[in-house]
Structure formats: C-alpha cells, structure tokens
Structure 1
Amino acid sequence: NAGHDLNLVNLPSFVAGIPALKEVSIGHALITDALWLGLPETVKRYLKAVNRADGL
C-alpha cells in the first residue's frame, strides 16, 4: 500500500516507477476530483491513469 498526495497528474509516473506496487491510496484526491467531474468520470480517469502506467 502506498500513497499520499497522489492524483491524476503524478499517479502514472508513481505507479510506473514501482513495478511491484499492488495498491495505492488515492481517496482524498479522487473525492476532490469527483466534486468537479462527477464520480463515474473520476473513476474512469483514475483507472485510465493506472492502466497507462502499467502499459495496459
């Protein structure tokens, strides 16, 4: 488990830099973004950010 101050900007490079990473804590940033973007769009963007970092 890792994470503090992770967001859509820094999440892809963080995940890419730690290949064995299994979990990140992004709750605060996710909820903050959801206030502006809506929860479904925010979740979509975070999944895209993580998958981009994993090369998926």
Structure 2
Amino acid sequence: MATANDDIFDEFLDERGHETESLSWERDYNKKRCPDCGGLHGLEASSCTVCGWQPN
C-alpha cells in the first residue's frame, strides 16, 4: 500500500525524469513481451528466460 511519503518520493523522482511506475509484461499477439529486453514468452511465463526480469 502506498503511503503519503511514497507519493512524495515518486513525485520527486518523476519531476527529475525517473520512471516511477512498476513495469509489467507487455502483450504481443498471444505472447508476453519482456519490458526490459523485449524477449517473447508464452502466456504462462512468470519471469524472462532471456534477461531474468520478473514483475514486482
């Protein structure tokens, strides 16, 4: 759960050009695409087998 301090910190980072949103899988037809390296995986994937990325 986000707190007021988290919101202030996210706003501080956002104003300075940093990403504050949590990343999740992107969709490409019937596949999941890793937002970090672009690797394609089946819909059952829970982590990227190319770079090791996992959603939070």
TM-score (norm: length of structure 1): 0.31
More strand by proportion, 1 or 2? Answer: 2
Normalised TM-score (structure 2): 0.31
* Structure having greater relative contact order (Cα 8 Å, sep ≥ 6): 1
Structure (1 or 2) with the larger CA radius of gyration: 2
